Structure 1
Amino acid sequence: MSAVKAAARPQEAGTAYEDDFYTWTQEQGARLRAGDFAGLDLENLAEEIETLGRTEFNSLVSAWRVILLHMLKWDHQPERRTRSWAISIRTHRNRAADVLKDNPGLKSRLTDSLVRAYRDARDEASGETGLPIRVFPTACPYTREEMLARPFPADPDDTTD
């Protein structure tokens, strides 16, 4: 039998999830579209769908973390303020807003996302500033409103923004 014929013939069991993730995803998608529900790898499909949700949550945490990191640095090292910190805050505010707009179900996890983000931002701020971690409050000192709306001039010498 030629390799072409063997490749053209559908596999009954399909590609194993562990052996070739990409091919597995393509086969599972094709089976869903064809209504071949009996041929679906339900356990791994369920895990992958849940992982997609966690990825969106982690995107929100990541955006909050960067905002908080630069806010902490802004407040604790005013002599080192840079335009890039202000721009980064703006950019990540937009990213967080986009994630929340695209995934309104994440609103129920805002508190959890902020707690996780601040924990990491605090550690990073200590590392990046060289200041002892005890300088940074253990609980987030900012309200969500401050994180989203507090002005940060792109030019640190410019107080209008």
Structure 2
Amino acid sequence: MMNITISNLYDSDYQLWLESTINQLRRGDFQAVDWQNLLEELADLGKSERRALESLLTRLLEHLLKLTYWQSQRD
């Protein structure tokens, strides 16, 4: 029953779900943890971080190309 409540909490109040999950993990109450949604969040976090890194690297390459072009035009 507690798992159903926590799963529903994930859909209705994400912040409260997150706080509850953190507290459950800190207490070692692993039976009450909403593992399905927690694992999904962790997987999504990894994907999000990778996309952010790819975006930053792309921006860096664009700026380096512009810098190279501008320097060649000055010479």
Q: For the superposition of Structure 1 and Structure 2, which TM-score range results when normalised by the shorter chain? A: 0.7 to 0.9
Q: Structure 1 residue 56 and structure 2 residue 56: aligned?
A: no
**Structure 1 partner of 2:59:** 66
After TM superposition, list the pairs within 5 Å mapping 1:125-136 onto structure 2.
Answer: none
Q: Helix, strand or coil for the counterpart of 2:10?
A: coil
**Structure 2 partner of 1:117:** none
Instruction: Give the distance between the partners of 2:11 and 2:65, measured in 1 at CA.
Output: 43
Q: Taking structure 1 as the reference length, what is the TM-score of the superposition?
A: 0.38
1:20-50 Cα offsets, whole Å, 9 max, x none, are: 1111000001011111111111111001111
RMSD, aligned CA: 2.5
Could you list the structure 1 runs, at least 4 aligned residues long, displaced by more than 6 angstroms after superposition: none
Q: Could you tell me which amino acid in structure 2 is paired with residue 32 of structure 1?
A: L
**Structure 2 partner of 1:22:** 15
1:45 to 21, 38, 49: 38
> Larger C-alpha radius of gyration, 1 or 2?
1
Shift of 1:59: 2.6
Unpaired segments ≥5 residues, structure 1:
1-11, 82-155
Count of matched residue positions in the alignment of Structure 1 and Structure 2: 70
Instruction: Give the distance between the partners of 1:44 and 1:72, measured in 2 at CA.
Output: 42
Instruction: Give the distance between the partners of 1:54 and 1:39, measured in 2 at CA.
Output: 26
Instruction: Give the distance between the partners of 2:13 and 2:62, measured in 1 at CA.
Output: 38
Unpaired segments ≥5 residues, structure 2:
none
